[in-house]
């Protein structure tokens, strides 16, 4: 008789409850890399930046996000507050005009402006020529309400902004699925009173910051290649003269620094301290955002809740 008939049948066998170091490291590292890379919505790079330099800058920001995810989260909160403030100011000022047919100034427009999506090209017929410089939402508002720039030039169709947005939907979908799987597994282990490693707890904190950053940067475009050129109907000299005494102070970044002086706050990245002078552009604004003490208090409180 064949001995195989005496072998016991093996039915469904559950996986062991134990996990190896390899599974913990791989699952956590994949989640961290996906979150740290896909969450980034960097501002518009200078036109002189090539593919490699852009990738290098993005890699640096990704490394910073890996080390301090709450820092990127806080920047997103500050930029969201700036965009919301811009939308409210345009609305209170009566834009768009009821009979103009122009689109409303939205959060997507404000984010597009704050990230350097508009560049002012001054009139080169001036005796003292000025190099082009980027505008944030506050300076766009100032130029529009003072009739230096038509509202229709900056209130572009939202579909155009969406077309300029180069977000990788597939990678973000994979990230969301990975985050969901990771959180479900962690919650399941907690309900079963099973051990959760320190690395997994740190990854969960990273995920919380990532989800918060996704929310506050929802309307911010990703990887816009080039800024939209805006041409004023007045010279820079006239704009400065019309501004009066507040435009007499030396500027460090753009000739329109007087519109709203950037303040140092942990709730936003602020400007890089670079001077833009006539005839020669010695620097480029990288982070276009300003904030105030009220924003700082709100963001610090929210960060305390989200990261503890």
Domain assignment present for residue 195? The answer is: yes
The pTM assigned to this predicted structure is 0.76
Domain assignment present for residue 128? The answer is: yes
Nearest Cα to Cα of residue 85 among 147, 29, 137, 31: 137
**CB–CB of 298/304 below 8 Å?**
no
Secondary structure of residue 119 in the 3-state scheme: strand
What is the distance between the alpha carbons of residues 95 and 271, in angstroms, rounded to a whole number? Answer: 28
Domain assignment present for residue 8? The answer is: no
Taking CA atoms, 110 is separated from 166, 247, 261, 289, in Å, by 18, 24, 18, 11
Domain assignment present for residue 237? The answer is: yes
Task: Give, in degrees to the nearest 5, the angle at Cα 218 between 216 and 221.
Answer: 120
Domain assignment present for residue 276? The answer is: yes
Domain assignment present for residue 7? The answer is: no
User: pLDDT tens digits for the chain (308 residues)?
Assistant: 555 566 666 666 666 666 778 888 999 999 999 999 999 998 888 878 888 888 898 889 999 898 999 999 999 999 999 999 999 999 998 888 767 778 899 999 999 999 999 999 887 665 567 788 899 999 999 999 999 999 999 999 888 888 887 777 888 899 999 999 999 999 998 898 888 899 999 999 999 999 999 999 999 998 888 889 999 988 888 899 998 888 888 888 888 988 875 453 433 333 333 333 333 333 333 333 334 445 445 555 554 444 44
User: Locate tokens 């190896």: which residue?
Assistant: 20
Question: Burial of 253 by CB count in 10 Å (0-12 exposed, 13-18 middle, 19+ buried)?
Answer: buried
Domain assignment present for residue 84? The answer is: yes
Domain span including residue 284: 21-306
**CA torsion angle 94 232 78 61 (round to 10):** 150
């Amino acid at each position: 008789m064949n001995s195989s008939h005496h072998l016991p049948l093996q039915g469904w066998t559950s996986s062991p409850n134990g996990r190896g170091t390899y599974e913990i490291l791989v699952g956590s590292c994949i989640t961290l890399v996906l979150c740290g890379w896909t969450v980034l919505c960097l501002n518009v790079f200078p036109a002189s930046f090539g593919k490699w330099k852009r990738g290098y800058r993005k890699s640096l920001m990704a490394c910073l996000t890996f080390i301090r995810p709450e820092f990127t989260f806080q920047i997103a909160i500050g930029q969201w507050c700036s965009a919301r403030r811009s939308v409210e100011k345009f609305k209170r000022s009566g834009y768009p005009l009821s009979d103009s047919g122009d689109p409303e100034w939205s959060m997507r427009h404000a984010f597009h402006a704050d990230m350097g999506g508009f560049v002012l090209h001054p009139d080169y017929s001036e005796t003292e020529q000025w190099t082009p410089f980027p505008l944030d939402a506050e300076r766009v508002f100032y130029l529009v309400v003072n009739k230096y720039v038509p509202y229709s030039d900056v209130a572009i169709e939202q579909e155009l902004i969406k077309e300029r947005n180069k977000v990788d939907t597939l990678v973000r979908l994979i990230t969301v699925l990975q985050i969901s799987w990771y959180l479900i597994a962690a919650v399941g282990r907690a309900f079963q009173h099973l051990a959760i490693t320190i690395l997994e707890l740190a990854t969960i904190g990273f995920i919380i910051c990532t989800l918060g950053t996704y929310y506050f940067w929802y309307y911010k475009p990703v990887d816009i290649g080039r800024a939209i050129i805006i041409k004023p109907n007045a010279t820079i000299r006239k704009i400065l003269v019309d501004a009066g005494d507040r435009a007499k102070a030396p500027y460090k970044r753009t000739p329109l620094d007087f519109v709203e002086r950037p303040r140092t706050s942990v709730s936003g990245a602020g400007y890089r301290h670079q001077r833009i002078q006539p005839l020669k552009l010695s620097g480029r604004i990288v982070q276009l955002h300003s904030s105030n003490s009220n924003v700082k208090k709100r963001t610090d409180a929210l960060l305390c809740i989200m990261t503890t």
